[in-house]
Amino acid sequence: MQNAKGKNGKNFIPFAVTAIFIAVVILFNMVMNYLLIPYSFTRLKVHMLETMQFNNLILGSSHAGTNIDATHLAGLTGRTTFNAAQGEQFPVDSYYLLKDACIDQKPDRVIYEFDPTYWLTAQEIDSSYANMFYEMRPSTEKLQYFFDKMWKVDFRTWISPWYFYRSQFGNIGANLYTKTTDNYKNYGVATFDSENQTVYGDGFIGVKPGKWEDEITVREWNENMVQKDDEKFFIKMAEFCRDEGIELVVVSTPIPAETYEAGRENFDLAYAHMTELSEKYDFRYMCYNTGELKQENLMDSEKFADWDGHMYQDAAHEFTGVFAGDLEAEG
Amino acid sequence: MEELISILEEIQPDADYETCETLIDDNILDSFAILSIISELEDEYDIRITPAEIIPANFNSAKAIYAMVKRLQG
Amino acid sequence: MSFVSTAFIIFVILCIAGYYLIPKQYQWCWLLVFSYIYYLAAGPRYVIFLLFSTVITYVGGLRAEQGSKAAVPVVLLLDFGALAIIKYTNFVLGTFVGIAGIEFHELDILLPLGISFYTFQTAGYLLDVYWKRCKAEHNFLHFALFVSFFPQIMQGPISRYGQLAEQLCAQHTLDIRRIESGLYRIAWGFFKKMVIADNAALYVSAIFDNYMTLRGYGVLGVLMYSAQLYADFSGGIDIVIGIAECLDITLAENFRQPFFATSIGDFWHRWHITLGTWMKDYVFYPVSLSRWMGNFGKWCRKHFGKNIGRAMPICVGNIIVFLVVGVWHGPAWHYIIYGLYNGLIIGISGLLTKNFRSWKKALKINDKSAGFKLFQIVRTFVLVNISWYLDCAGSVGQAFMMFKDSILRFRIFGDIIDTYYTWSGSQEVTMACIVFGCIVVFIHSLMKERGVDVRAALLDRPIPVRCVVLFLLLASLVLIGNQPLSQGGFIYANF
């Protein structure tokens, strides 16, 4: 019989050492994640998505996050609404957030906001690339998300997401403090209120008066420049909705008239492209910058905090009223 | 053989051609030196050395070079 | 699959794990399957070119072994023809059309991954068979593995059939020490890539892309390029060789402390070694020993005397080789001039070898002294860095302009990089990371230059020490490593 110090013992050592080493690496990363990754808006939104009940689910970029007042929409449509839209949410993220939400429930309607800029830009590998994945609960959907988004990029992105925050060692104290508060443990929204915005429990971000510094930038819409993954995952989302019996409504929220005019040709091409997709995949597309739904007063630049298209809270309330009416009229 | 060693010493001095067996492996003869040696050997011994012959086994020592020359002379 | 992606890491782990679990006689099959999966993952349409090169050189090898004289030129023409058309059509057309003054729109020709590397590798095999240096491979699948072996296909090293084939098809036993050794090599490669290359890349791209506005920073630019190119390329090779080592396969080394070189010729014995030896065996020797070169040598001897007559064909052969090296680097005039620059220096040095010896004797310079060696190393470093102007610039004009500005408008301090792309938001911290990484690499290189086998020495240390070293290497990737500017990964993977 071999004893532990004999040949079997020797063979066991490399595997034991490897296992301990991997455990140390995992522990190190967990500690660094806790110390460096701040309480993020994404953590809040993903938690709400996974725990709230809703009939309307809003997905998309920060335009939808600021321009569609979820509570007001709920009041007008009679359907509970959660606004899961936020900046840096690309179609692959929207798709997997939807699938994550559908683990426990099935919304009647998904409202997806189409911002052409996102479809023309490769997502940068930064903290927002990884954070929706990081905050999502473990599930087979998250595993699919991993294979569709995370595994083809730098391994540090998901193994050590704290590395995006490593220049912020000075914030460790504040992070630790925040994470001991009830606001953090209970997913409170108060942390994200600032002089620029108020965050609501339904996911809506109310932008306060005060102009943001930016310039009008126009992206050329070119079919060849559309990111393949963006269109692919949007179509997957459309097909998922169809298969699950969920109504899909795609909306392009108003942008300042000046911004639209500066890039009219490109915006029109982008909106036409989405119109084609809506006919092919049988969903409603509601564009408020061109066509029948366009209203000049909604594109008044006084209603926006920036040229990019983020509305002030009052204007968002007004737009939501119009949007709800159009939704229910055609729905 | 002495003739060969004097050719080698003229092209690349400071090497011990009597005993060294790693002229290529230790990079004592670089490609310039090898081609210079080949040029001289072809003239001196009226042989033709093709690229196929340029392998360490044929050039690692003076003895090996001499054996190659004799073989090519037929 | 980028080397830095999780997909590649999982791929390699699965490959190595399965390799040692399956019956040993099927290990080569396992490698072949994984090699083709790797290549297909890059894009199924690229595989056609890989298969084309594999099939024609396999058939060519068999015919050459049977004595066919036509097989070699025909297959080489097809093999290199494919490479030439894919890589150089736009350059050739663009040059001629440019001369005619017509606007040229580049043709959209896809560049199969690794084509420069596997074309050279298969051509080398064919010539080795023809010259009877090795027997032809009769098993097509064995040969396909030699061509497609995944660790090396993207950026080398360029392997020789006689050195690699037997290893690929042999039976391999798991050796934990070897796996550990391979792991250190891989981690070391990532360290160089992420800590040095990805940080230095910010300086290189800022200075070379904005040479019209950031004038005078050329010296800093080429120094950073030295760091970036060496760390990126040798780091990638470390990862390649480390993976192969985990599979109990020894690939040829591609770098040997190149910045310790004492001449440009020595530099090319230490930098991209397998390309240099390939060029030497398959271009330099055949060209220099050809009949027309022999006749040229006779003519030189008649007109210039014995010494120059003997050296001149070698000098010309060298220039031709480095022209090919330049062209290999890419379809652009600045690469060709880069090659010529190296070839001329080596060629002229060769011509003056005897003169150098007599001058040193007359000046009583001891060329074995440490001082003289240091002089040679610094001189070579300067010459190599001058060549980087041509290698890194987008055009000959840019290279010359930057070089001129380096002298007339020399600058080294200032706001240079776009700190948006740095992890720290600071140029100073980025530079500190580069300097730190370079110091670590320098110490490692110095030890190796003195004959110390650093990894073997590490493997003899107790387990806790080894674990700490590996942990520090991995921790440095996340603490001070930057992200690559392009998610594509490594520079030479685009060849």
Q: How many angstroms separate the first and last alpha carbons of chain B?
A: 17
Best probe of the C interface among A18, A125, A151, A158, by most C CBs < 10 A, is A151
Question: Last residue of some domain: C174, C195, C217?
Answer: C174
Number of Cβ within 10 Å of residue A214's Cβ equals 11
CA distance C57 to C165: 15
Residue C58's pLDDT is what?
Answer: 96
pLDDT tens for each residue of A236-246: 999 999 999 99
Cβ–Cβ of C285/B54 closer than 8 Å?
A: yes
Cβ–Cβ of A155/C176 closer than 8 Å?
A: no
pLDDT tens for each residue of C271-327: 999 999 999 999 999 998 888 888 888 888 888 887 778 888 888 888 999 999 988
Best probe of the A interface among C470, C483, C485, C486, by most A CBs < 10 A, is C483
pLDDT tens for each residue of C376-391: 999 999 999 999 999 9
Best probe of the B interface among C69, C289, C295, C358, by most B CBs < 10 A, is C289
Could you say which residues from 103 to 162 on chain A have a Cβ atom under 8 Å away from some Cβ of chain C? 125, 150-156, 158-160, 162
* C241 and C304 share one domain: yes
Residue B54's pLDDT is what?
Answer: 87
CA distance C188 to C455: 10
Is residue A116 in a domain? Answer: yes
Alpha-carbon distances, residue C484 vs A266, C155, C227, C441 (angstroms)? 31, 17, 14, 19
Average model confidence (pLDDT) for chain C?
90
Instruction: For residues A165-190, give the mean pLDDT.
Output: 90
Cβ pair A234, A91 in contact under 8 A: yes
Residues above pLDDT 90, as percent of chain A: 74
Question: Is residue C487 scored above 80 in pLDDT?
Answer: no
Could you say which residues from 287 to 326 on chain C have a Cβ atom under 8 Å away from some Cβ of chain B? 288-289, 294, 297, 310-311, 313-314, 317-318
Q: Domain range holding C118?
A: 6-174
Q: Exposure of C255 by Cβ count < 10 A (0-12 exposed, 13-18 middle, 19+ buried)?
A: buried
Question: Is residue C87 scored above 90 in pLDDT?
Answer: no
* C464 and C416 share one domain: yes
Give B1's pLDDT tier (boundaries 50, 70, 90): confident
Residue A176's pLDDT is what?
Answer: 93
Of B40, B42, B51, the CB nearest to C285: B51
Residue C136: strand, helix, or coil: coil
CA distance A295 to A317: 15
Q: Name which of A52-56, A125-129, A146-150, C221-225 the model is least confident about.
A: A125-129
Is residue C1 in a domain? Answer: no
Give C25's pLDDT tier (boundaries 50, 70, 90): very high
Could you say which residues from 26 to 65 on chain B have a Cβ atom under 8 Å away from some Cβ of chain C? 27, 30-32, 35-36, 38-40, 42, 49-52, 54-55
Cβ pair A60, A94 in contact under 8 A: yes
Chain B CB contacts of C286 below 8 Å: 51
Residue A54, sorted as left (phi over 0), alpha (psi -120 to 50) or beta, turns out to be beta
Instruction: For residues C215-233, give the mean pLDDT.
Output: 95
Q: Which of B27, B26, B14, B24 is nearest to B56 (CA)?
A: B24
CA distance A21 to A48: 36
Question: Is residue C111 scored above 80 in pLDDT?
Answer: no
* C122 and C255 share one domain: no
CA distance C147 to C370: 44
Asked if the bond preceding C157 is cis, omega within 30° of 0, the reply is: yes
How close, in Å, is residue C38 to chain A by CA atoms?
13
Residue C269's pLDDT is what?
Answer: 92
Please report, for chain B, the start and end positions of each structural domain, with discontinuous segments joined by +.
2-9+22-73
Cβ pair C293, C311 in contact under 8 A: no
CA distance C251 to C159: 7
- Compute φ and ψ for A249, nearest 5 degrees: -125, 125
pLDDT tens for each residue of A11-23: 788 889 999 999 9
Residue A8's pLDDT is what?
Answer: 57
Is B14 touching C (CB cutoff 8 A)?
A: no
Q: How many angstroms separate the first and last alpha carbons of chain C?
A: 15
Cβ–Cβ of C1/A151 closer than 8 Å?
A: no
Cβ–Cβ of B50/C289 closer than 8 Å?
A: yes
CA distance A83 to C66: 74
- Strand A205-207 and strand A197-199: the pairing is antiparallel
Residues above pLDDT 90, as percent of chain C: 66
Question: Is residue A2 scored above 50 in pLDDT?
Answer: no
Is C487 touching A (CB cutoff 8 A)?
A: yes
Would you give the distance in Å from CA C11 to the centre of its chain? 24
DSSP alpha helices (H): ranges in chain A? Answer: 7-36, 41-51, 62-67, 70-77, 91-101, 116-120, 127-135, 140-145, 156-159, 172-180, 182-185, 228-244, 257-262, 264-281, 313-330
Cβ pair A114, A94 in contact under 8 A: no
Residue A325: strand, helix, or coil: helix
Any chains having at least 3 CB pairs less than 8 A from chain C are: A, B
Question: Is residue C488 scored above 60 in pLDDT?
Answer: no
Cβ pair C155, C237 in contact under 8 A: yes
Is residue A301 in a domain? Answer: yes
Q: Exposure of A94 by Cβ count < 10 A (0-12 exposed, 13-18 middle, 19+ buried)?
A: buried
Cβ–Cβ of C6/A14 closer than 8 Å?
A: no
Average model confidence (pLDDT) for chain A?
91
Question: Last residue of some domain: C151, C174, C197?
Answer: C174
Q: Where are the beta strands (DSSP E) in C420-469?
A: none
Which has the higher per-residue pLDDT, C362 or A74?
Answer: A74
* C160 and C183 share one domain: no
* C219 and C363 share one domain: yes
Best probe of the C interface among A11, A32, A129, A152, by most C CBs < 10 A, is A152
Of C132, C281, C314, the CB nearest to B32: C314
DSSP C9: H
Residue A10's pLDDT is what?
Answer: 64
Residue B17's pLDDT is what?
Answer: 83
Of A17, A151, A167, the CB nearest to C6: A151
Give A174's pLDDT tier (boundaries 50, 70, 90): very high
Chain C CB contacts of A153 below 8 Å: 2, 5-6, 487
Q: Domain range holding A232?
A: 37-330
Is residue A44 in a domain? Answer: yes
pLDDT tens for each residue of C43-77: 888 898 999 999 999 999 999 999 888 889 999 99
Residue of B nearest to C133 (CA): B52
Q: At what angle do helices C463-479 and A7-36 cross, to 10 degrees?
A: 30
Is C4 touching A (CB cutoff 8 A)?
A: yes
Task: Answer whether 0.80 is exceeded by the pTM.
Answer: yes
Residue A5's pLDDT is what?
Answer: 46
Whether there are 3 or more C-beta pairs closer than 8 Å between B and A is no
* C74 and C27 share one domain: yes
CA distance C441 to C255: 13
Question: Is residue B5 scored above 90 in pLDDT?
Answer: no
Q: Which of C265, C268, C244, C246 is nearest to C256 (CA)?
A: C268
Q: Exposure of A270 by Cβ count < 10 A (0-12 exposed, 13-18 middle, 19+ buried)?
A: buried
CA distance A188 to A201: 8
Cβ–Cβ of C317/B35 closer than 8 Å?
A: yes
Residue B14, sorted as left (phi over 0), alpha (psi -120 to 50) or beta, turns out to be left
Give the number of domains in chain A: 1
Whether there are 3 or more C-beta pairs closer than 8 Å between C and B is yes
Q: What is the CATH number of the domain that holds A103?
A: 3.40.50.1110
Dihedral sign from CA coordinates of A241, A243, A246, A248: positive
Give C107's pLDDT tier (boundaries 50, 70, 90): low
Residue C479: strand, helix, or coil: helix
Instruction: For residues C410-422, give the mean pLDDT.
Output: 89
CA distance C116 to C83: 7
pLDDT tens for each residue of A35-78: 999 998 899 999 999 999 999 999 999 999 999 999 999 999 99
Dihedral sign from CA coordinates of C221, C227, C230, C234: negative
Chain C CB contacts of B42 below 8 Å: 294
Is residue C107 in a domain? Answer: yes
Residue of A nearest to C429 (CA): A167
Contacts of A327 (CB under 8 A, 6+ apart): A77, A249, A286
| DSSP of A184-219 | HHTT-SGGG--SSEEE-TTS-EEEPSS--------P
Give the number of domains in chain C: 2
Q: Which of C257, C246, C238 is nearest to C490 (CA)?
A: C238
pLDDT tens for each residue of C140-158: 999 999 999 999 988 889 9
Give C425's pLDDT tier (boundaries 50, 70, 90): confident
Cβ–Cβ of A155/C6 closer than 8 Å?
A: yes
Best probe of the B interface among C132, C287, C310, C315, by most B CBs < 10 A, is C310
Cβ pair A88, A123 in contact under 8 A: yes
ipTM (interface predicted TM): 0.87
Is residue A173 in a domain? Answer: yes
Q: Name which of A4-13, A50-59, C13-22 the model is least confident about.
A: A4-13
* Length, in residues, of chain C: 495
Cβ–Cβ of A167/C426 closer than 8 Å?
A: yes
**Segment (H or E) for A83:** strand A81-83
DSSP alpha helices (H): ranges in C305-369? Answer: 306-329, 333-351, 353-362
How close, in Å, is residue C187 to chain B by CA atoms?
30
Cβ pair C462, C204 in contact under 8 A: no
Residue of C nearest to A158 (CA): C6
Q: Which residue has the tokens 């051509």?
A: C123
* C47 and C186 share one domain: no
Residue C227: strand, helix, or coil: helix
DSSP A81: E
Q: Which of B66, B50, B57 is nearest to B7 (CA)?
A: B66
How close, in Å, is residue B35 to chain C by CA atoms?
7
pLDDT tens for each residue of A81-122: 999 999 999 999 999 999 999 999 999 999 999 999 888 888
How close, in Å, is residue B18 to chain C by CA atoms?
22
* C264 and C383 share one domain: yes
Question: Is residue C356 scored above 90 in pLDDT?
Answer: no
Beta-sheet strand order (sheet of A284-287) = A81-83, A56-59, A109-113, A247-252, A284-287
Instruction: For residues C342-347, give the mean pLDDT.
Output: 92
Give C218's pLDDT tier (boundaries 50, 70, 90): very high
A284 bridge partner residues: A249
pLDDT tens for each residue of B27-47: 788 888 888 889 888 888 888
Could you say which residues from 395 to 434 on chain C have a Cβ atom under 8 Å away from some Cβ of chain B? none
Question: Is residue C106 scored above 70 in pLDDT?
Answer: no
Is residue A185 in a domain? Answer: yes
Of A25, A152, A166, the CB nearest to C5: A152
CA distance A265 to A273: 12
- Compute φ and ψ for A206, nearest 5 degrees: -90, 115
Question: Is residue C432 scored above 70 in pLDDT?
Answer: yes
Instruction: For residues C132-147, give the mean pLDDT.
Output: 94
Alpha-carbon distances, residue A314 vs A18, A201, A319 (angstroms)? 58, 17, 9
Is residue C260 in a domain? Answer: yes
Is C425 touching A (CB cutoff 8 A)?
A: yes
